[in-house]
């Protein structure tokens, strides 16, 4: 039996990198990163790039919250407020959410399936740089939006940019064009990376890594990347149509010539709703890896987890029009989308119960990754419950376009996705840098984040129920909204402080953190069998796996996992 | 979790995975199909919704000849790859050149059709919803034909300069997947635009 795992039996044998590397000039390092096709470096660039945009998008959120903290505030003008919510939404979805998840996917998928690199390394670099230039283009609109004479015009059409507001007549200047082009580029990059991830997972697995032995993270990335093809492409098509409308005078969304504004809504949400699942499935993927390791148990119900993920992928393609109940689609369409939206909570519920069953009876270690995962479980549950409320069409008619909806989807995006991204940072940072993140700062970060998150997004439901519409730049006193808005704004500041602690922790631990070693968490997947940080070739000898937890088999040769699978 | 014991497989079991070029091209085809679906849906959605003329009934002619050319180019490309696999390089070059010629005839046909529509019938992308959806859908397909032709021409240049041998048959397989996809899309576009739309 020891022979059968010889590929991994000696951890020393796997890393052959010299400990001392020669010092490089700054330009050499820069050249190295700009021209790299290494999946780990591209992954880290994705992550660094989206962290920068996370801070920018966060600042935009803070600007909005300062403006709304008290009635009749004049901190920013209405025009600037419109730009802030447009850029905040666009930035967070396309230039934080997508790239950070692709970054983790790029970094982790080849390591976890025992591959040397992605299937198409040069396509990988191309996709990253295209996405990156998309982000730069969006922010260049601050300078170029109204031409050089009218500097300062950024897009102000909202992140879903409903027609006919985006028509040339109603959005003159170039700010909307920057928005369209940046999303078009980001979409091309996303499709390229998704293609790469699917090809890597299908074609590059190490010997013995059958599909039913793959780490669940790889499964979830397979599902999420497949969804990108079907969900992001319609947005790309719709952006091409919008460009044609704005530049050559076609009439797709031109209501004056018989075009339809509703068609844009359909096209946008055919992308927009699967997109939420594209973002949340990688968060589930992180939970699938972190929760078992910190509960010291194998994941409960692996086949059910895979089936639920694939199920979510399919159902999520048929729920988009629950964003459009207020349009008046007719009873038949309303009923269909109410039920499809409710049904999607079934596979999601299966996942939550499986995570709970994994934790149940485990020997739980409450390190920072596990703290964030537990926060994720509670918050994602509540986010799902308000989601079921909003899936009921009459309830949605009452609250659509209100702060209740904003609170609901921020509960998913922040309470679930961002929390799991933080957990993933604490969990895989030692692998990427070779040093542990500070546990003390991690605890500060977690508790401040929990307090700030709940202050902001729990209380944001209430002004929504009281009728406060989203996207208003100010409001009158005496409607009962003041105290709630103030609490929400204070919570946003607390979250900003928590995030600053996190960023400080990232930088500080890189220089001063405790040395991690190859496998600081006593984990079971292949990435922990190589050095931290991994050498450019990942594994000196190609690993051979025999079960879902290859490192468990090596650490416990007397009781290997394949006896139980 | 089940506790049925299974025997671990021997390490020397052959480990063969699908080819990454084929999988990558399949993924690209899925993504491209989604883009085409959106344009086709827009075409069907706006069928008969134009506020003014000209209408498809008045101006569109069935492009039978160019359609036959494009569809037969799938067969000639297939025979080219078959010839390459058997190391018959001159047959490969001949079939590939035929494919390029057939694709080019299709493009010229589209160009002549558009010229007639624009300068004789006065239909542009700005005229009405029919013009908007017609030029964008057919134009999107023609763009794909152009991209495919450029790649085929590159392969032909490599073939004529003697840089291709039977080891490259697999790469030509991946390229022909794309070309077959472009042809299959034309069947849909033809049905929607020239049959249902008229």
Give me the average pLDDT of each 10-residue run along chain A (565 residues).
41 53 81 93 96 94 95 92 93 95 96 95 96 92 64 81 90 88 95 96 94 95 96 95 93 91 95 94 96 95 96 94 92 94 94 96 95 96 94 93 95 96 97 95 97 96 95 93 96 96 95 93 94 92 91 91 85
Best CA proximity match to A233, nearest among A197, A267, A263, A200: A267
Contact A8, A544 (CB under 8 A): yes
Distance CA A219, CA A309 (A): 8
Q: Do A195 and B24 touch (CB under 8 A)?
A: yes
**Which pLDDT score, from 0 to 100, does residue A144 have?**
66
Q: Do A252 and B28 touch (CB under 8 A)?
A: no
Mutate to test the interface with A, among B39, B132, B143, B174 (most CBs of A within 10 A): B132
End-to-end CA distance of chain A: 17
* CA A409 centroid distance within chain: 13
Residue A256 parent element (H or E): none
The distance of B97 to chain A (nearest Cα, Å) reads 29
Q: A-chain residues within 8 Å CB-CB of B5?
A: 563-564
Distance CA A175, CA A235 (A): 18
Nearest residue of B to residue A192 by CA position?
B28
CA distances from A81 to A63, A92, A119, A153, A469 (A): 8, 16, 43, 12, 14
Distance CA B153, CA B160 (A): 10
Phi, psi of A515 (to 5 degrees): -65, 135
Contact A445, A501 (CB under 8 A): yes
Q: Do B45 and A263 touch (CB under 8 A)?
A: yes
End-to-end CA distance of chain B: 59
Using DSSP, state whether B122 is helix, strand or coil.
coil
Distance CA A250, CA A167 (A): 11
Which DSSP state fits A286? Answer: H
Q: B-chain residues within 8 Å CB-CB of A194?
A: 27, 31
**Which pLDDT score, from 0 to 100, does residue B184 have?**
97
The distance of A561 to chain B (nearest Cα, Å) reads 10
CA distances from A27 to A23, A24, A39 (A): 12, 8, 21
Distance CA A539, CA A168 (A): 54
Distance CA A366, CA B89 (A): 66
Query: How many contacts does A have with B, using Cβ atoms within 8 A?
Result: 135
Best CA proximity match to B180, nearest among B18, B32, B20: B32
Chain B within 8 Å of A169 (Cβ-Cβ)?
Answer: no
Best CA proximity match to A56, nearest among A138, A127, A125: A138
**Which pLDDT score, from 0 to 100, does residue B3 have?**
39
Long-range contacts of A447-452 (CB under 8 A, 24+ apart): A448/A494, A448/A495, A448/A497, A448/A498, A448/A501, A449/A375, A449/A419, A449/A422, A449/A495, A449/A498, A449/A499, A450/A375, A451/A491, A451/A494, A452/A491, A452/A492, A452/A493, A452/A494, A452/A495, A452/A496, A452/A497, A452/A498
Distance CA A274, CA A278 (A): 6
Chain A within 8 Å of B46 (Cβ-Cβ)?
Answer: yes
Cβ neighbour number for residue B191 with a 10 Å cutoff: 12
pTM of the predicted structure, to 2 decimals: 0.93
Mutate to test the interface with A, among B31, B44, B114, B141 (most CBs of A within 10 A): B31
Phi, psi of A469 (to 5 degrees): -75, 155
C-alpha gyration radius of chain B: 22
Using DSSP, state whether A361 is helix, strand or coil.
coil
**Which pLDDT score, from 0 to 100, does residue A87 have?**
94
Chain A within 8 Å of B125 (Cβ-Cβ)?
Answer: yes
* CA A484 centroid distance within chain: 28
**Which pLDDT score, from 0 to 100, does residue A4 have?**
41
Structure tokens at A244: 């044609």
Neighbouring C-alpha atoms within 13 Å toward the C-beta of A529:
32
Per the rule left: phi > 0, alpha: psi between -120 and 50, beta: everything else, A147 is left
Distance CA A88, CA A162 (A): 16
Nearest residue of B to residue A118 by CA position?
B20
Using DSSP, state whether B173 is helix, strand or coil.
helix
Phi, psi of A402 (to 5 degrees): -110, 175
A209, burial (CB in 10 Å: exposed 0-12, middle 13-18, buried 19+): buried
Chain B within 8 Å of A259 (Cβ-Cβ)?
Answer: yes
Structure tokens at A279: 């973002």
Using DSSP, state whether B11 is helix, strand or coil.
coil
Which among B15, B31, B38 has CB closest to A267? B38
Distance CA A189, CA B95 (A): 35
Structure tokens at A271: 């992308």
Residue A216 parent element (H or E): helix A216-247
- Torsion, Cα B128 B134 B139 B140, to 10 degrees, reads 110
CA distances from B3 to A120, A211, A332, A562, A563 (A): 39, 19, 47, 10, 7
Cβ neighbour number for residue B167 with a 10 Å cutoff: 9
Low-confidence ranges of chain B (pLDDT < 50): 1-8
The distance of B39 to chain A (nearest Cα, Å) reads 7
Neighbouring C-alpha atoms within 13 Å toward the C-beta of A430:
24
Helical H segments across A145-215, by residue range = 175-203
Which DSSP state fits A76? Answer: S
Contact A461, A399 (CB under 8 A): no
Helical H segments across B62-168, by residue range = 64-85, 89-119, 129-160
Contacts of A251 (CB under 8 A, 6+ apart): A245, A257, A258, A259, B126, B128, B129, B132
Chain A within 8 Å of B147 (Cβ-Cβ)?
Answer: no
**Which pLDDT score, from 0 to 100, does residue A464 have?**
95
**Which pLDDT score, from 0 to 100, does residue A563 have?**
86
């Amino acid at each position: 039996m020891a022979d059968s795992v010889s590929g991994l039996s000696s951890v020393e044998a796997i890393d052959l990198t010299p400990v001392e590397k020669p010092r490089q000039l700054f330009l050499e390092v820069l050249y190295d990163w700009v021209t790299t096709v290494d999946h780990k470096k591209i992954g880290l660039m994705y992550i660094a790039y989206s962290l920068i945009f996370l801070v920018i998008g966060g600042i935009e959120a803070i600007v909005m919250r300062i403006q709304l903290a008290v009635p009749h505030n004049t901190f920013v003008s209405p025009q600037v407020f419109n730009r802030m919510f447009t850029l905040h939404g666009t930035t967070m979805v396309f230039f934080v959410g997508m790239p950070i998840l692709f970054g983790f996917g790029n970094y982790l998928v080849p390591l976890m399936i025992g591959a040397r690199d992605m299937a198409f390394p040069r396509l990988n670099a191309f996709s990253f740089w295209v996405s990156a230039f998309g982000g730069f283009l969006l922010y260049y609109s601050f300078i170029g939006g109204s031409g050089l004479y009218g500097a300062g015009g950024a897009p102000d059409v909202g992140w879903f940019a409903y027609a006919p507001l985006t028509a040339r007549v109603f959005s003159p200047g170039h700010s909307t064009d920057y928005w369209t082009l940046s999303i078009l580029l980001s979409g091309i990059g996303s499709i390229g990376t998704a293609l790469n991830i699917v090809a890597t997972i299908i074609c590059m697995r190490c010997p013995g890594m059958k599909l039913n032995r793959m780490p669940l993270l790889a499964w979830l990335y397979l599902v999420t990347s497949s969804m990108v093809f079907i969900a992001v492409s319609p947005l790309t098509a719709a952006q091409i149509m919008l460009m044609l409308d704005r530049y050559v005078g076609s009439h797709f969304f031109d209501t004056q010539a018989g075009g339809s504004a509703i068609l844009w809504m359909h096209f946008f949400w055919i992308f927009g709703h699967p997109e939420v699942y594209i973002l949340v499935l990688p968060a589930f993927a992180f939970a699938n890896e972190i929760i078992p390791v910190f509960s010291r148990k194998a994941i409960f119900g692996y086949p059910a987890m895979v089936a639920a993920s694939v199920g979510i992928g399919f159902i999520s393609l048929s729920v988009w029009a629950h964003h459009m109940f207020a349009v008046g689609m007719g009873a038949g369409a309303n009923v269909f989308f109410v039920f499809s939206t409710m049904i999607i909570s079934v596979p999601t519920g299966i996942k939550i119960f499986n995570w709970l069953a994994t934790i149940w009876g485990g020997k739980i270690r409450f390190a920072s990754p596990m703290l964030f995962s537990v926060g994720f479980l509670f918050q994602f549950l509540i986010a799902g419950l308000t989601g079921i409320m909003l899936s009921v069409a009459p309830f949605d008619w009452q609250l659509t376009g209100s702060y209740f909806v904003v609170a609901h989807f921020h509960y998913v995006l922040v309470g679930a996705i961002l929390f799991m991204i933080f957990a993933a940072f604490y969990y895989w940072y030692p692998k990427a840098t070779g040093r542990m993140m500070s546990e003390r700062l991690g605890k500060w970060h977690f508790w401040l984040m929990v307090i700030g998150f709940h202050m902001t997004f729990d209380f944001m439901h209430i002004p929504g129920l009281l009728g406060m519409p989203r996207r208003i730049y100010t409001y009158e006193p005496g409607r009962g909204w003041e105290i709630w808005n103030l609490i929400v704004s204070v919570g946003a500041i607390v979250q900003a402080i928590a995030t600053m602690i996190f960023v400080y922790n990232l930088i500080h631990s890189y220089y001063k953190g405790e040395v991690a070693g190859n496998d600081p968490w006593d984990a079971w997947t292949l990435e922990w069998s190589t050095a931290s940080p991994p050498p450019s070739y990942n594994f000196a000898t190609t690993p051979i796996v025999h079960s879902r937890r290859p490192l468990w088999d090596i650490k416990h040769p007397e009781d290997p996992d394949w006896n139980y699978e | 979790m089940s506790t049925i014991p299974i025997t671990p497989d021997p390490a020397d079991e052959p480990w063969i995975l699908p080819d990454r070029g084929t999988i990558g091209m399949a993924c690209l085809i899925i993504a491209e199909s989604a883009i085409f679906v959106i344009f086709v849906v827009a075409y069907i959605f706006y069928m008969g919704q134009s506020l003014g003329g000209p209408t498809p009934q008045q101006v569109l002619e069935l492009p039978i000849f160019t359609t036959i050319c494009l569809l037969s180019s799938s067969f000639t490309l297939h025979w080219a790859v078959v010839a390459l696999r058997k190391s018959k390089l001159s047959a490969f070059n001949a079939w590939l050149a035929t494919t390029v010629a057939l694709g080019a005839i299709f493009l010229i046909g589209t160009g002549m059709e558009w010229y007639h529509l624009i300068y004789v019938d006065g239909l542009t992308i700005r005229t009405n919803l029919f013009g908007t959806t017609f030029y964008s859908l057919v134009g999107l397909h023609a763009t794909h034909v152009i991209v495919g032709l450029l790649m085929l021409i590159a392969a032909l240049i490599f073939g004529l300069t003697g840089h291709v041998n039977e080891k490259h048959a697999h790469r030509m397989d991946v390229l022909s997947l794309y070309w077959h996809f472009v042809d299959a899309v034309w069947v849909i576009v033809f049905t929607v635009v020239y049959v249902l739309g008229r």
